[in-house]
Amino acid sequence: MIKFLDLHAINQQHREEFIDAFTRVLDSGWFLMGKELQQFEQQFAAYCGTKEAIGVANGLDALSLIIRAYKEMGIFQDGDEILVPSNTFIASILAISANNLTPVLIEPILEDYNIDPALIEEKITSKTKAILVVHLYGQLADMSAITVLSKRHNLKLIEDAAQAHGAALDGKKAGGWGDAAAFSFYPGKNLGALADAGAVTTSDANLAQVIRALLNYGSHEKYKNLYKGTNSRLDEINAAMLAIKLKHLDEETASRRAVANRYLSEINNPKIVLPRVKNPMAHVWHLFVIRCAQRDELQTYLQNHHIQSLIHYPIPPHKQEAYKEWGNLSFPISEKIHEEVLSLPISQVLREEEVHEVIALINKF
Ligand SMILES: *Cc1c(COP(=O)(O)O)cnc(C)c1O
């Protein structure tokens, strides 16, 4: 069986380093808000090219806390609108609704699955306060165009970088383009913890300060509460694990790129549409997503030959029961993507012969 993602093998690579770090934290007797977190935050901010990184409990909280902080700062109000791609993972949209703001869905570009900048301006109203871009599947959205639009209309630019750790264009990394960015370190992400974890990156010191209070019950100072906050902390053990994995991230991304390059150059079945890559450094291949009109048959065929594949994602957000108010809306590009996409195995531990087998089977389909 060729696994879609072998999390066991991925983490076993760092076994000795993990055990040393775990022992260090255990022996310190300090488990939350200590120096492991502080060090990881500094290293991750330096990696992303931002002044600050703030560890939080997960990627959804990272997104939600950015929006919540802008509300506390008086920049967003209930009922304001945030533009977001119509084909994203549901968490990008949940973070907006959870804060009583309105998600306004925008179609992606079919070839690269990211938000279409040409469709943004027509959706801007007097209530629009931000663009939430998603670097879907690990590829940076068209950040030069989107940055221009956000400046022209005085909108906050928020990045959902949960799938794009290390993706870069013109030397600027995911997380460093917007006013703030949200990362997830869910175990299956390119930089994955051994539990739920996430971070916000920003160079806005005020925003960072508000988020640091919000994630800690709304408090900067023990037992003094400025906001009706929440508890969304990243623990010391996982901060230590993440610091270890961050050191290896670029080399692991290079391995993912090598797999992707083989898929791109060797899959030649006319039934398969390969993903479009605008710039090799701007894609970190969290997922390698192809399109096929007979997607379900292809998935069954691969399964019968012991190759796992997954669908990211089977149901578009506007067709979800949770958003039944959008049931009558139509997003044809998004719907086509959801009907045709299939994600192939890709990771830093996928072996050459496994890549070869996937390619050979797909070419015979
Ligand atoms: C994983 C993911 C999230 C949510 O992160 P969690 O850590 O699972 O809460 C948000 N947005 C995107 C695009 C994701 O892939």
Q: What are the pLDDT digits (tens) for 115-135?
A: 999 999 999 999 999 999 999
Query: Pick from 226, 242, 258: which residue ends a domain?
Result: 242
Hey, which of 65, 140, 184, 310 would you mutate to test ligand 1's pocket, going by the most ligand atoms within 8 Å of its Cβ?
184
Query: Pick from 217, 242, 267: which residue ends a domain?
Result: 242
199 and 54 Cβ atoms separated by less than 8 Å: yes
Per the structure, how many domains does the chain have? 2
Give the single-character DSSP code of 234. Answer: P
pLDDT in the model for residue 314: 96
- Mean residue pLDDT across the chain: 98
Say how many Å lie between the CA of residue 62 and the centre of ligand 1: 9
| Span 205-221, average pLDDT | 97
Alpha helices in 106-186 (DSSP H): 143-152
Q: Which residue has the tokens 């920003």?
A: 202
pLDDT in the model for residue 106: 98
Tell me how far apart the alpha carbons of residues 14 and 339 are, in angstroms, rounded to a whole number.
38
- Ligand 1 atom closest to the Cα of residue 88 is 13
pLDDT in the model for residue 13: 96
Same-domain status, 254 and 227: no
Q: By percentage, how much of the chain surpasses pLDDT 90?
A: 98
Same-domain status, 219 and 277: no
Positions marked active-site: 189
Which phi-psi region, left, alpha or beta, contains residue 103 (left: φ > 0; alpha: ψ -120 to 50)?
Answer: beta
Same-domain status, 276 and 204: no
In terms of C-beta distances under 8 Å and separation of at least 24 residues, what long-range contacts does 328-332 make, across chains too?
329/105, 331/86, 331/87, 331/105, 331/107, 332/107
